[in-house]
Amino acid sequence: MSKRQYTRAEVKELLGALERQCREASKLAQLAEHEASKHSFGAYRDFRDKVGEFQALVILIEQRMRNLVDARSDDLRDQFEKLDTVMLALLVRASMRFFFVLSANPILPMGAREIFVAELRSLHDAAEKLRRPNYAGKLGPELERELETASLILEEIIDKAPSLLNFRG
């Protein structure tokens, strides 16, 4: 059975959707930072949901680009990697700011355990992506430091509340 092949137009349409997701996530990240200072974390969850939608779309686009009818795809790949890089930078910065606000809060919000588990995975995935040859160096040393800072802040929060991450039960 042969795999379905996709046209440039189909991939470009998905790239347009990816760009819209990126813009929406950027707005949600700003709102999340503003609301985190008021000890409200609903906006951050909305941001993370949007990032999840973006990541699902990334998977679809990668699959379609592997099965493109037209052999010429460098421009599509460049556009895709640019959007993915923008989202990765947005994710790292939003996480760092969220964790910073959270680390200053002596009382952790309901659902903090779920947030920590998801964020640990997300930061690990971001770090892994940064190591890929096609992403290495594109984000710059500042963003790599922010990723490290976000990880350190998250570790500090976890150290303050180790019972949140009791995986035995």
Which of 145, 13, 28, 18 has the alpha carbon at shortest distance from 81? 18
Provide the whole-model pTM.
0.78
pLDDT tens by residue, 141-163: 787 787 778 777 777 776 665 55
Which of 68, 71, 61, 73 has the alpha carbon at shortest distance from 7? 68
pLDDT tens by residue, 86-138: 888 888 888 877 777 777 766 666 666 667 767 777 777 877 777 778 777 77
Encoding tokens for residue 50?
């949007």
The SS3 of residue 30 is helix
